[in-house]
Chain A
């Protein structure tokens, strides 16, 4: 039987505020366990929360970026449940009156078709601590550093119908959150997390099927694979006339399958109620306007800028702007060395290839200091170093971020652009390899590359390849 797939996503994203959401502890990913903690975020008796205005502003910013309506009165509520990583045994969250309501994002599939994914809400809440299983002591330790870190939960409507759409949506959302600089959105570090709700219904039917919720999805790839798996699992059940049960399932990336975590009957009653320590708070229009005025350029505007002002092709601009880290890196490098097209070409070929070789994750990080990278580009562009040397240097400084200018000086890697010297070296090669001269004369153009290859070998890549190709042609013709 054929089915329609119905998918909705709940995306959690950690806000990069300076301090935590209800106390003044540092909001930082690093740090020894339990060093960014205070009576408030470890829930000591008597401690009270104070909302972080910056976190509220960032939530508003996220809402504005996706066209949400900002509620004029928002309420913090307590979500009560016991778990060792939850210090107060309740999470301060929002249920009936979140900060943002509605909105949506437009996604595009590989064929260029557009689709609008509606949002239900964005609310602000606090993150929990982390359990660390310690085999040395044979027990579990708790690190509360993450406890109280501000988190927004972005809940979509069930508007997606394939793994591809879900990934496109997630990717678009990440892009937006990065662009407006409210979150790093690193899935590996957990600053972006995603739960997927998925159900199947007979093709064309108006009645929704029973859904399963998928958790523990740590990369775009696992989101896609978990969805594919779940579609197969549910359609097999339905084909065989069985029922899909409402449950939460845990994705196991290594085994490429999911396991049931808990059934609906075991679902907790969270006993939400308004937090009496945090009265309902008014979000003034002026605050929303203030946030609006700080909104940076979104991706579409950035693409326009790259194409119209920097002369990049639309395709290149799109690839470049797919990740805000890349955009920031590119903008920095261009600020040191103003040859955007040249730099863009190198980034989209050599750098991105390197990124893909090096990382399993979806999080883009370039370890070379932008100034250093700009220097490398300048030496290459001006002909001071050859392409071959440039690539070798790039590989090296990727690992150690050594000063590439110094390396060129110390090792004498500067390109030889002296026509006379290159000419005489080429003459030696012509004398040594008469057979190749013969090959060229009889019409084998490859013989030319042989001479260039030999020349590079002898000069350790320092000869200017462009000059050499021009000269060898002249000399043999």
Chain B
């Protein structure tokens, strides 16, 4: 299964010159999936529909039809993305038997491009978590070391890419859920600008922060998928009317001369982990040596971003998850006294602890008497953070930080300490709060043998700059590919 080790870009070329067929590729992918089953990466494998779609794509190609770069390529999607004919469980017991009757816009776009959805990836329940340990269908294991977590919440999506089950995956990122697992698994993950990729059909966690993005083996692969899924969606009121561009065609300049990289000391003040410190120092040296300029910037309020995040995301989640009441679908308790009792028992049975924790927190901050002190205060601080980033981007093109404060930790290590778990997202959360794009690329390996990731944050809609810098770094400084 050498082929599964290839990049999306390469297999796309091989498909185009017919040196391999999509059916062969799908079969290889299914083999890879079954040989890595113990990692508990996928909740559902769509072998039948995948083979059928692969045959169709091969037929089209045989007829000489013009096809997209994703045509015939096996892709994994996170299990909170609705796709007709498949389960959409959000890794929650509550939705264990829920099948969506409609496609998310991103799924429509993938299918239109001929991409093959090969499976649906496990995740932290309703995307709440940083280790994929809150998944109701078992913990996901990191493909680089079985004893370690893959990060979360898109731990299944990042693992599927790292385990070479597929050539790319979709994750969702509300506070770091694409970037942190990408860092833990040694893959490339992009959280796009809020509004760039449609949220329609993606089960909401925190609507004002959620964003779908690609997780891939290489930076160039990432741009190929973003080209497919980005763009205005009339089904979403918060969708951005941003002019469609081809990131794959236009981003890669193979130069970072004159690039201004922002260095915010606030990101590094509390950083303990020497592996992480060293990997970032290396990167800075590399950037300097290759013609970029390091600019000191200040982001005084990012230290409050985590608090802002837990107020706002929990508030929205409490409301978004209220629809899971057992009346229409999902877990419905058999024994109850009245309708209130029915709600209470169904939700108690259906949700895991982390989800319950966020629902309670969210309802608390929305309650009358507390709304101003928490929700409105958090909104005010959010605005401060947004304006601080805006000021920073007057001085630099991208901002550099670690993706996570550590490399992957062992399964079970932090699961009983929510506050310590929440600290995992300290570098990623400010990006969602400020609606910005950011990419995580591998930048080294820690002493525990697990990968490290570097985060590049851009101004709104500057994905192509991020891609260029990340690609340059990947090609010329550090690539984890082949390191097993």
Residues of A within 8 A of B (CB): 39, 42-51, 78, 80, 82, 84, 87-90, 142, 269, 271-273, 276-279
Residue interface bits B190-208, CB-to-A below 8 A is 1, else 0: 0000000001111110111
User: Which single member of B98, B237, B328 contacts A50 (CB below 8 Å)?
Assistant: B237
Task: Please tell me if B343 contacts chain A, counting CB pairs below 8 Å.
Answer: yes
Task: Please tell me if B371 contacts chain A, counting CB pairs below 8 Å.
Answer: yes
Contacts of B339 in A (CB 8 A): 82, 84
Task: Please tell me if B246 contacts chain A, counting CB pairs below 8 Å.
Answer: no
Contact A46 B367 (CB under 8 A): no
Task: Please tell me if B44 contacts chain A, counting CB pairs below 8 Å.
Answer: no
Contact B238 A46 (CB under 8 A): no
CA of A276 to CA of B211, assembled, Å: 13
A46 with B200, Cβ < 8 A, contacts A269-B367, A273-B371 known: yes
- Would you call the interface of chain A mostly helix, strand, loop, or mixed? loop
Segment from B117-125, B315-323, B425-433 that makes contact with A? B315-323
Contact A84 B200 (CB under 8 A): no
The 5 closest A-B pairs by CB, nearest first: A89-B322, A271-B366, A276-B208, A276-B207, A46-B201
Q: Chain A's nearest CB lies how many Å from the CB of B344? A: 10
Task: Please tell me if B95 contacts chain A, counting CB pairs below 8 Å.
Answer: yes
Contacts of B237 in A (CB 8 A): 48-51, 277-279
CA of A278 to CA of B208, assembled, Å: 10
Task: Please tell me if B293 contacts chain A, counting CB pairs below 8 Å.
Answer: no
User: Which single member of A49, A51, A271 contacts B363 (CB below 8 Å)?
Assistant: A271
Contact B367 A271 (CB under 8 A): yes
Q: Chain A's nearest CB lies how many Å from the CB of B317? A: 11
Task: Please tell me if B101 contacts chain A, counting CB pairs below 8 Å.
Answer: yes
Q: List 13 A-B contacts (CB under 8 A).
A: A45-B88, A46-B81, A46-B203, A46-B204, A47-B200, A82-B325, A82-B340, A84-B327, A88-B322, A89-B322, A142-B327, A271-B363, A272-B366
Task: Please tell me if B10 contacts chain A, counting CB pairs below 8 Å.
Answer: no
CA of A142 to CA of B235, assembled, Å: 26
| Besides A48-B199, A87-B323, A87-B328, 4 other A-B contacts (C-beta < 8 A) | A39-B102, A46-B88, A80-B319, A88-B322
Task: Please tell me if B263 contacts chain A, counting CB pairs below 8 Å.
Answer: no
Q: Chain B's nearest CB lies how many Å from the CB of A328? A: 36
Contact B203 A45 (CB under 8 A): yes
Q: Chain A's nearest CB lies how many Å from the CB of B237? A: 5
Contact A82 B322 (CB under 8 A): yes
Residue interface bits B64-84, CB-to-A below 8 A is 1, else 0: 000000000000000011100
Contacts of B95 in A (CB 8 A): 45
Contacts of A47 in B (CB 8 A): 102, 200-201
Closest Cβ neighbor of B379 among chain A residues: A274
Task: Please tell me if B457 contacts chain A, counting CB pairs below 8 Å.
Answer: no
Contact A45 B82 (CB under 8 A): yes
Contacts of B88 in A (CB 8 A): 45-46
Contacts of B367 in A (CB 8 A): 269, 271
CA of A142 to CA of B325, assembled, Å: 14
Contacts of B104 in A (CB 8 A): 46
Task: Please tell me if B100 contacts chain A, counting CB pairs below 8 Å.
Answer: yes
Closest Cβ neighbor of A277 among chain B residues: B207
Q: Interface residue tally of chain B, by bracket?
A: 35 or more
Contact B200 A48 (CB under 8 A): yes
Contacts of A43 in B (CB 8 A): 323, 328
Q: Chain A's nearest CB lies how many Å from the CB of B82? A: 5
CA of A272 to CA of B315, assembled, Å: 11
User: Which single member of A44, A50, A276, A278 contacts B102 (CB below 8 Å)?
Assistant: A44
Contacts of A44 in B (CB 8 A): 82, 100-102
Q: Chain B's nearest CB lies how many Å from the CB of A198? A: 24
Q: Chain A's nearest CB lies how many Å from the CB of B84? A: 11
A273 with B319, Cβ < 8 A, contacts A39-B102, A44-B101, A45-B100 known: yes
CA of A42 to CA of B363, assembled, Å: 23
A46 with B235, Cβ < 8 A, contacts A89-B322, A269-B367 known: no
CA of A184 to CA of B207, assembled, Å: 36
Contact A89 B366 (CB under 8 A): no
CA of A120 to CA of B386, assembled, Å: 35
Contacts of A48 in B (CB 8 A): 199-200, 235-237
Q: Chain B's nearest CB lies how many Å from the CB of A85? A: 9
Task: Please tell me if B351 contacts chain A, counting CB pairs below 8 Å.
Answer: no
CA of A271 to CA of B375, assembled, Å: 11
Contact A277 B238 (CB under 8 A): yes
Most B C-beta atoms less than 10 A away, residue of A51, A80, A84, A273: A273
Task: Please tell me if B234 contacts chain A, counting CB pairs below 8 Å.
Answer: yes
Task: Please tell me if B448 contacts chain A, counting CB pairs below 8 Å.
Answer: no
Contacts of B101 in A (CB 8 A): 39, 44
Task: Please tell me if B353 contacts chain A, counting CB pairs below 8 Å.
Answer: no
Contact A90 B235 (CB under 8 A): no
Residue interface bits B314-351, CB-to-A below 8 A is 1, else 0: 01101100110101100000000001100100000000
A82 with B200, Cβ < 8 A, contacts A45-B82, A45-B100, A271-B319 known: no
Q: Chain A's nearest CB lies how many Å from the CB of B290? A: 41
Contacts of B340 in A (CB 8 A): 82
CA of A278 to CA of B199, assembled, Å: 13
Q: Chain B's nearest CB lies how many Å from the CB of A97? A: 14
Task: Please tell me if B368 contacts chain A, counting CB pairs below 8 Å.
Answer: yes
Residue interface bits B226-248, CB-to-A below 8 A is 1, else 0: 00000000111110000000000
Contacts of A89 in B (CB 8 A): 319, 322-323, 325
Contact A279 B238 (CB under 8 A): yes
A90 with B322, Cβ < 8 A, contacts A45-B95, A271-B367, A277-B238 known: yes
Contact A80 B102 (CB under 8 A): no
CA of A43 to CA of B375, assembled, Å: 24
Contacts of A51 in B (CB 8 A): 237
User: Which single member of A271, A277, A279 contacts B368 (CB below 8 Å)?
Assistant: A271
Closest Cβ neighbor of A45 among chain B residues: B203
